[in-house]
Structure 1
Amino acid sequence: MLWWTWFVLQLLCSTVIRGLQHYQTAWGHYDVCKSQIYTEEGLAWDYMACQPEATDMTKYLRVTLDPPDITCGDPPEMYCALENPYMCNNECDAATEELAHPPKLMFDFEGRNPTTFWQSSSWKKYPKPLQVNITLSWNKSIELTDDIVLTFESGRPEQMVLEKSLDFGRTWTPYQFYATDCLDAFTMEPKTASELTQLTLLDIICTEDYSRGYVWKNDKTVRFEIKDRFALFAGPRLHNMASLYGQLDTTKKLRDFFTITDLRIKLLKPATGATMVDENNLSRYFYAISDVKVQGRCKCNLHANSCVFDKGKLGCECEHNTTGPDCSRCKKHYHGRAWSVGSYLPIPKGTANICIPSMNGPVPRVCDNAMLRCQNGGTCHHHQRCHCAPGFTGVLCERARCQGPGECEDQRSGQPPLRRFFISHPLILTVAALSLPVVPVC
């Protein structure tokens, strides 16, 4: 029997360790908006900051090109290889599915053979510039969580700008410049993301790393490094997310830097592979993109843990008595205090900053509706108002009423009765102890 007991203890120990590891991971992602807890008054809601999981955002975008007729194939056209101007056996024909290269092929499943890609018309009007704007629109605020990666089937552009918009394309600001010669193209000193610091993270730089011709597969990509910027606060392996969350919480410019409603890829000069353009073989010069990666999540101001795509639109499924596409306002009758974005702090649950019922105007159903219940012994009257026990006040009887000496200890200490219950209750203390990142000795 001893061996059986030892086996059960080992299994229990490993289960607890895995559970604690999952707990830290789950809370670190802020994927739960509320949970039910037991208090002296019975079941109540404990609210937390929350956000949707990161996902591939290219599934939800709308793409537009400027000029709109820049895609190859109308009329059909033959293309030559950049490396060999005499190998001209690639045809683009918009009327034939196998030979067409429409914009949607920038976002389809990768790994097909042959590779699918969007392709522009060639530089037939040289020396007039061959320029294309590719605009990606979500009609929704998006928070970027990983690098933006463009994979080119042609040579990478010799000059390019990545721009962002925060107001649905009305105004644009640069994210990054790309060129084979930054000084010549944009009068900017070349720089890389690895040279940025916490103080210069928001600087707009020009990099020469992604504008050279390619030989290997990895040399086809152009990146905008999000994770390198995260790492300036969270460490090289993003192990200290608490530090990053703290910065995002307190610095609006930093939050806005990683937030977009639209992206614009401005292709200014195609790869030429040489210092001079070969005017006798202009079919060598064009743009072709096989893949675009944009990883992110819906911006819900930490008031929703899911985002739905319905009738062609993205929208947050708001919690905390908030509403709107980004959960950016309080519901009707819930303006008891000004709306506020949720907070990542304190780690790991954050602060929900829920909207509370209004004190004036039509009386909402505020109690006994499984969302809000009377606290501190208060009773619900007609599903509308809380009748508070002596010594308490507020819409939900959440505040101690000062009636004389010694009656306001809770307010002076900053610990409401519910918090005193959490601090003193032995079951809560036991759960809190299990939540500490201490590995059990088994």
Structure 2
Amino acid sequence: MRWPVLLTLQAALASLSQAVQHYPSVWGHYDVCKSQVYTDEGLIWDYMACQPEATDMTKYLRVTLDPPNITCGDPPETYCALENPYMCNNECDATTEELAHPPELMFDFEGRNPTTFWQSTSWKKYPRPLQVNITLSWNKTIELTDDIVITFESGRPEQMVLEKSLDYGRTWQPYQFYATDCLDAFTMEPKTVHELTQQTLLDIICTEDYSRGYVWKYDKTVRFEIKDRFALFAGPRLHNMASLYGQLDTTKNLRDFFTITDLRIRLLRPATGATMVDEYNLSRYFYAISDVKVQGRCKCNLHANSCVFEKDRLSCECEHNTTGPDCGRCKKNYQGRAWSAGSYLPIPKGTANICLPNNLGPVIRPNISSLGVANRNQARVCDSLMMRCQNGGVCHNNQRCQCPAGFTGLLCEKPRCEGAPGGCPGAKSAGDTLFPLPGPTPLPLLTASVLALLQGAL
């Protein structure tokens, strides 16, 4: 009687495992760039789109503050609690480790007690604005995969802007505005991410969700919602990833929206807890940030499954005969067709769009997908420009060659008598055999060794 129960439990666990896998925590699981498989033509490479795993990107950033002397502690300063101006027992002193609050404490491990944090000077120059720019730079293109979360140890700012750059800080665009009163601060109607649609996903909004309220001890975080935007295509539990991948593949503006080289947190007005500023207790007003979370991955154009950090710089470990920090070009001697980024589609392997050796003929148009070893049912295997079906074969939907009775192989290049006892009468060795290309247009001849290279065997 134990066997049916055991089988039932195994089935339940399998169902649970499938359910967990059905709702991934981060988008993108393209972790294998290639593998070897056996086919009728022998051992070949199976090429796939690939990308690095998502990780905590704050481990690799460089932080700068503007103005540079905005951090507290020089000279030492005493601070009061926002909710009680007479409780002034917090001291900041840059010369004492226990009392210093430098910028790097925004990114350290938050498992200690008391919490560590960066802190600004107080609003001692009121009514002049207390404004700070915190710039996070990676010197590398990053794809965001989860919400950006900023945790404040002071009250959350009454006015703030989160900005992004795609060109290493040369130009900036707003990601989101935050205010207790969006109309007053930025002349924008307040809105939440849940009011966005697929058509308005790229709209820049002002939200009051992360600035309202005086109970700041319990509401410390300011968030930029990445996953809620993914959910507009992938569903509320990110179960329809194919829809999201399809949109990212075909819509450059959408890809760029989730891609950054730098982030900038612009703190424009600190929490005051009231409509009026208490000019007699300005040490109540300041900024303090204990944690910044930025989850993402190196952008490698789906040509690498790992990214290394060497000499203070992130760089993709490129596959598919590509090179560059983002795998954004073909290697030397592998420019047989124009470089193209990999594709998420078709699910689940995507299309690798590998760079081909130079000696395979003229450069192909950039919108042609990969050779088809990885996804033979979807990718281009034969066409009228270079990979012509041989020995009378007919190219069918650019996906396969329909060979005449006496021939086989990817491009109908092999006589079927190969491998039979005695081989093909009068044939030379495979490495010396030349296969003429049919058709009126003269094209370079393909040797068997080149064909083997096409199939990834070399």
Scaled to the shorter chain, the TM-score interval is 0.7 to 0.9
**Residues 12 and 290 of structure 1: CA distance in aligned 2, closer, same or farther (over 3 Å):** closer
In structure 1, stretches of 5+ residues that fail to align are: 362-372, 374-391, 422-442
Report how many residues are paired: 386
Q: Displacement, 1:414?
A: 3.0
**Alignment RMSD (CA, Å):** 3.1
CA contact (8 A) 2:122 2:285 kept: yes
1:124-273 to 2 correspondence within 5 Å? 124-215=124-215, 219-273=219-273
Counterpart-to-counterpart distance in 1, 2:334 and 2:198: 39
* Paired AA for residue 409 in structure 1: V
* Paired AA for residue 202 in structure 1: L
* Paired AA for residue 415 in structure 1: R
Q: Which residue of 2 aligns with 1:365?
A: none
SS in 1 for 2:230: helix
SS in 2 for 1:256: helix
Counterpart-to-counterpart distance in 1, 2:278 and 2:14: 68
Q: Displacement, 1:412?
A: 5.4
TM-score, normalised by the number of residues in structure 1: 0.81
SS in 2 for 1:289: strand
Q: Displacement, 1:42?
A: 1.8
CA contact (8 A) 1:165 1:263 kept: yes
Counterpart-to-counterpart distance in 1, 2:69 and 2:410: 64
SS in 2 for 1:115: coil
* Paired AA for residue 140 in structure 1: K
1:416-435 to 2 correspondence within 5 Å? 416=401
SS in 2 for 1:359: helix
CA contact (8 A) 1:52 1:306 kept: yes
Q: Which residue of 2 aligns with 1:369?
A: none
* Paired AA for residue 400 in structure 1: C
In structure 2, stretches of 5+ residues that fail to align are: 362-372, 374-381, 402-407, 413-458
* Paired AA for residue 41 in structure 2: E
TM-score, normalised by the number of residues in structure 2: 0.78
**Residues 13 and 86 of structure 1: CA distance in aligned 2, closer, same or farther (over 3 Å):** closer
Counterpart-to-counterpart distance in 2, 1:233 and 1:303: 24
Q: Which residue of 1 aligns with 2:288?
A: 288
CA contact (8 A) 2:393 2:411 kept: no
Runs of 4+ in 1 over 6 A off after TM superposition: 6-27, 392-395, 417-421
Counterpart-to-counterpart distance in 1, 2:135 and 2:181: 25
**Residues 394 and 22 of structure 1: CA distance in aligned 2, closer, same or farther (over 3 Å):** farther
Larger proportion of helix? 1
SS in 2 for 1:140: strand
1:245-394 to 2 correspondence within 5 Å? 245-359=245-359
Q: Which residue of 1 aligns with 2:108?
A: 108
CA contact (8 A) 1:28 1:348 kept: no
Counterpart-to-counterpart distance in 2, 1:152 and 1:52: 30
Q: Displacement, 1:311?
A: 1.0
SS in 2 for 1:308: strand
CA contact (8 A) 2:158 2:269 kept: yes
Counterpart-to-counterpart distance in 1, 2:192 and 2:13: 45
Counterpart-to-counterpart distance in 2, 1:47 and 1:24: 24
SS in 2 for 1:400: coil
Q: Displacement, 1:55?
A: 0.5
* Paired AA for residue 90 in structure 1: N
CA contact (8 A) 1:213 1:271 kept: no
